[in-house]
Structures are given as structure tokens and as C-alpha cells.
């Protein structure tokens, strides 16, 4: 018995069982299969991008012409569609359609000539040309001018004064003065301790312009370099006080400025704002100008000037009543008011502050989102931009 088992084992080792037959190799797709797949790719391209290629899915054969109404695909480029935000959907769909058309082309190219192949090839190449032109063409730009009422000169009330005043006071007095702090309009009366320069670069620059004698440590911060002005600005922007002020500023733009502009898509605005501190002095810090005199500004900007103290006479912003008139007069505002004006076209400036009070203010520029062209790579003058949408109206 054992011997027969051994014999059987030896026989099995000498003659192993044959492996199971392998499945038959897949046959390459036939000419009819490739033509069908190409047609499916073509149909799916139309289904993917219906608003790019309007009308029949049969474009004319070469030599037939491509006039609208005769089966030629028409590219949608209406400004209304682009401004409503649909372009964000249009371009990805056009790119998907392009990939499907390339797939159809790869199926058709190797096939032998035939009337059906020629027809499908003509349609595919025609639509590829349309898709390529759509993807490479620049989008239509928004209008280059605003309705005049959007930036007519007006003094407007706002309810953000407490938050702005509190955060800006903390920023200006940081590392310089201990509580209790004087009112902001008396900033210039504070002493100049040698070891504690102001955190705010705008305040330090204003003291220098006024001709005040500054401690050496303060003066070093006004010089170029990482240990001078650049380092001072970097320390200022990294401070928690600056972060709190920016938070109050962003809320102000969202809740006060954006609703005034009236664009449902919101506003594009400079961030940070331009912070200005002007202590009493016989020297003016700037010169009369229009914003269009400087590079980096789109013509649809709206200016807002927001003082945090009462301003009048030589501490106020002076601007002309109409472009080119040259009759610059002061815009006198109190706490809780802001000035809207057309800084692109109206001459404006500040004078030497001879009032005996420090002026503290900030200013900003905004553009209605529907008018923003982004001509300067996300910049507004020297400043970065952010976006704000007005809060929804309260129900009930």
C-alpha cells in the first residue's frame, strides 16, 4: 500500500497537471466600435458644455460656411453672463468638453478613410477650435466708469465709532503711554520717554514731520533697514493691538461701507487702510493731488475718509466741489461721521495742522465687485485688497 502511494506521488511529480487555459485575448475595438465611441465622446462634449456650444451638434463641413442658424456652434461671451459669475462654471466645463473632443479625435485619427469618419472628424476639429478660442480669449472686462451717485461727495453717519475708536486708541498708546490715556486729539501732549517709542509708525513719522526733538532710539526707527523703519513696521503689524484694529476695520467695511455701495456681490477694498496721525505743526505732510495722478488705481474706486476726532479748518481734509474747479475747502466732520468722495477725479489734500489738536483718521478705497477689473494683480495702489459682502437684511 505504501509502495503504490509512493509510485503515485512520483508519477504526479513527473507529469504535473496542465494549468487552466488562459482567457482569450481581448479583441481590439473594431472600426465600427471606434466610430461609435467617437460619436459618444462628441455627444458628451455637448452635454457637458451646453451654454458654450449652442444649437445643433452638427457643425458644417469644410466649405459650407459657419453662419449662425446653419448648425454652427455659437460661443457665449455676453457680459451679463460673465458678470453674473457664470464664467467660473463656463471655463471648467469648456475644458472638460475639450478633453472629450480630444478623446474623440484620438479614436478617429487611426481609422481608414470613410464618409462617416470624415464627418465626425470635421465636427470634432471644428468644435475643438471653438473650445480653444473660448479658453484662450480674455474675459470681457467690467465697465470702466461708475454711476456718479455712487461716489458723490457726502458726509455720512456710521455706527462703528466706538469699536474703531477703542481699537485705534489701544494701538496708538501701545508701548508708549500707561493708562489713563488722554483723548486722541491730545496725543501730541504726551512726553517722549527715551526707552519707549510709539508702536505706530504713522505717529512716529508725524512727530518727526512736526519738528519735535526725538530721543535717539526713536530716530533710529525712522531710518531705512531691518533695524529701522522696516523692522518697526513689521513689529507694528505683528502686534495684537494691530490685529484687533484690523478686525474692527473689516467689520466696519462689511457693515457700514458695503451696504452704501449697493452691489449684491460686495466690494473689493484695500486692506490695511491708510492710517494717518497729524500732530499740530506748521508743516503740511502732503500736496494737492488726484488719485489718478499715481499708478495702480482703477478709475472705479470710491474713497472714504474716516476721522476719529472732530476735524475742522486746517485739521480737515480739503477737496474741490467738482472736478477741475480748484475750490478746495475743508470737510468738517465729527466723531461717528465719514466722508465719501471721488478721489480719482477731485483734487484733495491736507494742510499744515495749525488747530492745536492732533488729527487721527484712516482712509480707504473700495470698488464695487461687479466693476472690479483687477488691472493691478490684486493691488489697489500700494495696498493688498480683500473682499466684503454686506450682511443680509434682518428678517422681521
Q: Give pLDDT, residue 44.
A: 83
**Is 234 a residue whose pLDDT tops 70?**
yes
SS3 336: coil
Using CB atoms within 10 Å of the CB of residue 344, give its burial: 0 to 12 exposed, 13 to 18 middle, 19+ buried: buried
CA pair distance 306, 303, nearest whole angstrom:
10
Strand pairing class (317-319; 383-388): unpaired
Query: In this predicted structure, what is the pLDDT of residue 286?
Result: 80
Residue 126 φ then ψ, to 5°: -65, -45
Question: 89 pLDDT exceeds 80?
Answer: no
**Cα–Cα dist 362/168, whole Å:** 10
State the DSSP code for 90: H
What is the spatial distance between Cα 120 and Cα 241, in angstroms, rounded to a whole number? Answer: 67
Q: Is the pLDDT of residue 78 over 60?
A: no
Sorted by sequence, the CB contacts under 8 Å of residue 100 that are 6+ apart come out as: 41, 42, 44, 45, 48
Phi-psi region of 63 (alpha: psi -120 to 50; beta: other; left: phi over 0): left
The predicted structure's pLDDT at residue 8 = 47
pTM: 0.67
What is the mean pLDDT of the segment spanning 277-288?
88
What is the per-residue pLDDT across 334-370, written as a single tens digit (0 to 9) for each? 999 999 999 999 999 999 999 999 999 999 999 999 9
For residues 205-230, one letter each, b for 16 or more C-beta atoms within 10 angstroms of the residue's C-beta and e for the rest, the string is bbbebbeeebeeebebbbeeeeeebe
β-sheet bridge partners, residue 387? 268
Statement: 148-388 belongs to CATH 3.20.20: no
Model confidence band, residue 60 (pLDDT cutoffs 50, 70, 90): very low
**pLDDT over 70 percentage in the chain:** 79
User: Contact 187/206 with Cβ under 8 angstroms?
Assistant: no
- Residue partners of 87: CB distance under 8 A and separation at least 6: 81, 139
How many CB atoms within 10 Å of residue 157? Answer: 10
Q: Where in the chain is the domain with CATH 2.60.120?
A: 148-388
Mean pLDDT of the chain: 81
pLDDT of residue 212: 86
Comparison of pLDDT for 50 and 258, the residue scoring more: 258
What is the C-alpha separation between 396 and 393, in angstroms, rounded?
9
Helix (H, G, I), strand (E, B) or coil at 276: strand
Amino acid at each position: 500500500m505504501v509502495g503504490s502511494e509512493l509510485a503515485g506521488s512520483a508519477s504526479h511529480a513527473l507529469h504535473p497537471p496542465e494549468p487552466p487555459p488562459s482567457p482569450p485575448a481581448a479583441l481590439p475595438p473594431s472600426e465600427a466600435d471606434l466610430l461609435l465611441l467617437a460619436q459618444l465622446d462628441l455627444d458628451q462634449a455637448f452635454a457637458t458644455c451646453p451654454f458654450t456650444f449652442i444649437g445643433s451638434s452638427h457643425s458644417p463641413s469644410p466649405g459650407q460656411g459657419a453662419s449662425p442658424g446653419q448648425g454652427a456652434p455659437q460661443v457665449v461671451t455676453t457680459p451679463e453672463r460673465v458678470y453674473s459669475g457664470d464664467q467660473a462654471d463656463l471655463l471648467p466645463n469648456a475644458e472638460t468638453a475639450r478633453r472629450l473632443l480630444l478623446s474623440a479625435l484620438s479614436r478617429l485619427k487611426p481609422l481608414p478613410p470613410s464618409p462617416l469618419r470624415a464627418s465626425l472628424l470635421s465636427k470634432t476639429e471644428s468644435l475643438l477650435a471653438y473650445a480653444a478660442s473660448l479658453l484662450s480669449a480674455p474675459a470681457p472686462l467690467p465697465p470702466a466708469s461708475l454711476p456718479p451717485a455712487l461716489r458723490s461727495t457726502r458726509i455720512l453717519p456710521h455706527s462703528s465709532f466706538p469699536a474703531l475708536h477703542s481699537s485705534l486708541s489701544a494701538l496708538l498708546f501701545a508701548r508708549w503711554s500707561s493708562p489713563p490715556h488722554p483723548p486722541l486729539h491730545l496725543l501730541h501732549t504726551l512726553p517722549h520717554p527715551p526707552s519707549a517709542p510709539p508702536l505706530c509708525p504713522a505717529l512716529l513719522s508725524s512727530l518727526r514731520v512736526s519738528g519735535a526733538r526725538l530721543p535717539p532710539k526713536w530716530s533710529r526707527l525712522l531710518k531705512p533697514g531691518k533695524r529701522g523703519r522696516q523692522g518697526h513696521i513689521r513689529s507694528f503689524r505683528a502686534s495684537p493691538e494691530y490685529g484687533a484694529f484690523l478686525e474692527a476695520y473689516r467689520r466696519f467695511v462689511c457693515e457700514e461701507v458695503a451696504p452704501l455701495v449697493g452691489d449684491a456681490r460686495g466690494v473689493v477694498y484695500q486692506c490695511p487702510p491708510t492710517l494717518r496721525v497729524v500732530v499740530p505743526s506748521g508743516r503740511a505732510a502732503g500736496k494737492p493731488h488726484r488719485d489718478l495722478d499715481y499708478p495702480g488705481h482703477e478709475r472705479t474706486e470710491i474713497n472714504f475718509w474716516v476721522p476719529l476726532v472732530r476735524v475742522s479748518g486746517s485739521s480737515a481734509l480739503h477737496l474741490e466741489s467738482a472736478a477741475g474747479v480748484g475750490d478746495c475747502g475743508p470737510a468738517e466732520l465729527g466723531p461717528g461721521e465719514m466722508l465719501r468722495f471721488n478721489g480719482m477725479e477731485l483734487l484733495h489734500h491736507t494742510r499744515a495742522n495749525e488747530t492745536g489738536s492732533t488729527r487721527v483718521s484712516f482712509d480707504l478705497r473700495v470698488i464695487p465687485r461687479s466693476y472690479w477689473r483687477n488691472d493691478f494683480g490684486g493691488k489697489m495702489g500700494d495696498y493688498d485688497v480683500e473682499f466684503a459682502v454686506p450682511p443680509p437684511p434682518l428678517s422681521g
